[in-house]
A and B are shown apart, each in its own frame.
Chain A
Amino acid sequence: MNFDFSDEQKQLRDSARRFLEKQSSVAVVRRVLEGDEGYDRELWQGLAEMGFTGAAIPEEFGGAGLGYLELCVIAEELGRAVAPVPFSSTVYLAAEFLLAAGNDAQKKNYLPKIAAGEVIGTFAYAETAGEVTAERIKATVSGGKLSGTKIPVADGSIADFAVVAAQSGSGLGLYLVDLTGPGVTRTVVDTIDPSRKHARIVFDGAPVEQLGSGDAEAVIAAVYDRAAVLTAFEQVGGSDRALEMARDYALERIAFGRQIGSFQAIKHILADMYVSATLARSNCYWGAYALSTGSAELPEAAASCRVSATKAFQHCSTNNIQVHGGMGFTWQFDCHLYYKRSNLLALNLGSLSVWENRLIARMRARNSARDAA
């Protein structure tokens, strides 16, 4: 059994970490958080130059053709650094939709530019509060033109193109839309984590190109499973960093004449953070295995790592503040960067209860299939 990343993948992790410690320092994260820029351009270009945006894009489409295990490693480091870049929208979603449903011309048009960091893509899905379902999508394509409103769209204000889920005469479909073209009005909206900007996009007769002709809901589910694994790695990276921050503070802070980390009340909080982060990491390895091998276990593994990592990051980022006491509640300390990111990542592919529900449905399907066999 070799249920671990390879030495080469671990080297990739080290180099990604070194790069991000320099290029995605908390100063960089705060600049985006407090500014209007939308993302850090220099960091984004650097990620492309490192080959990270195209890590899992096949070489024939201009990618590095490394693979999904490598992308998981990179995702963990991005999460650890709370990187302020449109990586997940572009790489986990837009590129994956193109790979899953795009025709050759569409892939050739977009994927090399994603790999080169020349374009930003996103997926425009939600329109209203509550779990997104096909029935709740009112945006409509008619005569090759899209109308409707999508909110919130991750990186919607900075993206060059979007994959949009919209209704047409034949049901839900997926469409490619040039967000810099006519019929598109974008406004930045305030969100829980301003280091990752979101937008309201109003489409009013925007020209579209159909993306795939199959069952759009099935494509979305498949892409979301893949994105769930990658996002879970970001969440695990964030969990580990939040745990480290809390540990370091517990060692450094003196109260009642001793390091607060010597009090069992603090130790037990930290031990529980370690437990949740460890369980999430192990589930993520399963997800990475399933994602990289195209295993039939992917839907169950993806839901498992999504649920586990969402809980872990929420748990660790919340308790990181608690261990820091009053200082953790200040703007000056970095705890809130992780707390905000954990709350964003917990929701942006659908909430915990949605994934819990999926997980149980999928486990049940597997059990029935096994019983039938």
Chain B
Amino acid sequence: MNFDDTPEEAKFRAEVRAWISANAPHDLDEDLKKSGLAGLRLPGRDIMAESKAWQKKKADAGWAVPHWPKEYGGRGATPIERVVWQQEEGLYNQLAQPFAIGQGMCGPTVMAYASEDLKRKYLPKLASGEEIWCQLFSEPAGGSDVAALRTRAEKADGSDEWVINGQKIWTSGAQYSDYGILLTRTDPNVPKHAGLTMFIVDMKAPGVEVRPIHQMNGGRGFNEVFFENVRIHDSHRLGAVNDGWNVALTTLMNERMSIGSRLATGFPEIFGFVADFQLPDGPAIDNAAVRAKLADWAVKSSGLRYTAFRAISSLSKGERPGPENSIGKLVAGVMTQDIAKYAMELEAEAGVLTSQEDAPAAALFQNMVLNSPGMRIAGGTDEILRNIIAERVLGLPGDVRVDKNVPFNQAPGR
């Protein structure tokens, strides 16, 4: 039992470290260090321009998406090398955020299902950050139950084109995306999972309209996307007609594979905060009640860290990581929310302040309180994650489904 790199890993790490040290945008270091849970802040700079610049630099040297095959913009790195890269990229990984969904979810789906021509057309630019992709699955009628989606794709008479009509929602990054992978209903006369088809859609095509959603925390990262008679050529279909659910599973499997990236929990932030923050009888960290709370979060935080190390160890041995990594977001989401609320509780009356100038700790915890409900919903709600653990890890039976084996257009709620 050790934390040591194998000789090959050590050699790879040294190479990565040297390249990053020589090429990273060090002028952003200070701002990147200060960013984090409150989101990326680069005062006086264009975040997208900085992100694209760093991604392009990585791409030119083959580091854009290291684990992708060379011909699609990667360098054919092994899973453990991918982890080493993420660990070493560290701070600068925040700049990869606009490309995360495209590279993490859309790319693998395109790689698995698109024609060779399309792969060579789209993947290298997705890798280099020249083009940004989004994922268009959720709808007003289907969030957790994504297979209940209603957006229609119908074959246009006498042509090789499909016509899309409907609405997507919660689409991160749609406002600056060039392409998306789009899950549609092609046959409403069969049960819901059996009538879906996946496409690549040009987000600049006529009939696509993106409307930002004003979030409860004031941000506008999510969007509604409307499709009105949008035409997609059949060559841009991913997988067989009506096999879209299996294609979507490829995408969703990749969603939970990001092992090397560290999950934000707010623990280092609250630990630092209570070490300095004064209660009437001294530093908050000396208070027994505070310590009990801190200890609970400390062992969750270390538990997540070492759970990730166990998964990395599996990768290092060339094995598939076990299911234990599925707990990450479930633990981190609630914990972030609890930590933020507790810090505000310590701040007492001043906890209501939200400007960086007035609020304690530059309003970090107030921002967390307003962001954290989203963390517990995006990418699978806490409840769906518990269902996944119970069914796929513990082997419990699925819930009774009243819409199973019922044609979609006759299912309850339609």
Which chain A residues have a beta carbon within 8 Å of chain B's beta carbons?
A: 1-6, 69, 243, 247, 250-251, 258-259, 261-264, 266-268, 270-272, 274-275, 278-283, 285-286, 288-289, 292-293, 304-305, 307-308, 311, 353, 355-357, 359-360, 363-364, 367
Contact = CB atoms under 8 A, between A and B. Distances in A.
A278 B324 contact: yes
A3 B306 contact: yes
Interface string B267-308: 000010001000000000100100110111011101111110
B285 A1 contact: no
B324 A272 contact: no
Interface centre among A4, A250, A261, A280 (most CB of B within 10 A): A4
Nearest to A356: B295
Nearest to B272: A367
Contact of B298 (A274, A281, A292, A363): A363
Given A1-B3, A267-B391, A307-B295, A279 B331 contact: yes
A286 B306 contact: yes
Nearest to B308: A282
B395 A289 contact: no
B348 interface: no
Interface of B is mostly: helix
Interface in B375-414: 383, 385-387, 389-391, 393-400
Contacts of B295: 307, 355-357, 359-360
B306 A268 contact: no
Interface of A is mostly: helix
A3 B312 contact: yes
Contact of B396 (A69, A262, A353): A262
Contacts of B9: 1
A251 B396 contact: yes
Given A1-B2, A2-B1, A262-B396, A283 B299 contact: yes
Contact of A4 (B1, B327, B397): B1
Given A283-B299, A304-B299, A357-B291, A2 B387 contact: no
Interface centre among B292, B300, B309, B390 (most CB of A within 10 A): B390
B1 A3 contact: yes
Contacts of A5: 1
Nearest to A275: B327
Contacts of A4: 1, 310, 313-314, 317
Nearest to B307: A282
Contact of B316 (A2, A268, A367): A2
A363 B295 CA distance: 10
B130 interface: no
B330 interface: yes
Nearest to A307: B299
A135 B5 CA distance: 47
A268 B385 CA distance: 9
Chain B interface residue bracket vs A = 35 or more
A94 to B, nearest CB: 26
B302 A278 contact: no
15 contacts: A1-B5, A1-B309, A247-B394, A247-B396, A262-B396, A271-B394, A274-B327, A278-B307, A279-B304, A283-B303, A285-B306, A286-B306, A304-B298, A304-B302, A357-B288
B4 interface: yes
Nearest to B3: A1
Contact of B313 (A3, A271, A275): A3
B399 A264 contact: yes
Given A282-B324, A308-B303, A268 B1 contact: no
A204 to B, nearest CB: 38
A270 to B, nearest CB: 5
A266 B306 CA distance: 28
A272 B396 CA distance: 14
A356 B306 CA distance: 19
B292 A356 contact: yes
A292 B386 contact: no
Contacts of A280: 303
A282 B307 CA distance: 5
B389 A3 contact: no
B1 A289 contact: yes
A279 B389 contact: no
A3 B394 contact: no
A1 B313 contact: yes
B4 A262 contact: no
A261 B395 CA distance: 9
B312 to A, nearest CB: 5
A308 B299 contact: yes
Given A250-B396, A279-B304, 8 more contacts: A3-B1, A3-B309, A5-B1, A243-B394, A268-B383, A279-B299, A283-B302, A360-B298
Contacts of A266: 396
B177 to A, nearest CB: 34
A224 to B, nearest CB: 17
Top 8 closest pairs, chain A to chain B, by CB? A279-B303, A356-B295, A267-B390, A282-B306, A271-B386, A308-B299, A261-B396, A271-B389
A58 to B, nearest CB: 20
B398 A262 contact: yes
Contact of A272 (B303, B386, B395, B400): B386
Given A267-B387, A285-B1, A286-B302, A258 B396 contact: no
B226 to A, nearest CB: 33
B1 A356 contact: no
A294 to B, nearest CB: 13
Given A283-B306, A353-B292, A356-B295, A2 B386 contact: no
A272 B386 CA distance: 7
Contact of A1 (B312, B386, B390): B312
A288 B310 CA distance: 13
Contacts of A261: 390, 396-397
A263 B385 CA distance: 15
Contact of B399 (A262, A289, A356): A262
A275 B312 contact: no
Contacts of B296: 307, 311, 356
A288 B400 CA distance: 43
Contacts of B331: 275, 279
A135 to B, nearest CB: 19
Contacts of A311: 296, 299
A97 B222 CA distance: 60
A280 B330 CA distance: 15
Given A2-B313, A3-B313, A353-B288, A282 B303 contact: yes
Nearest to A4: B313
Contacts of A363: 271, 298
A288 B396 contact: no
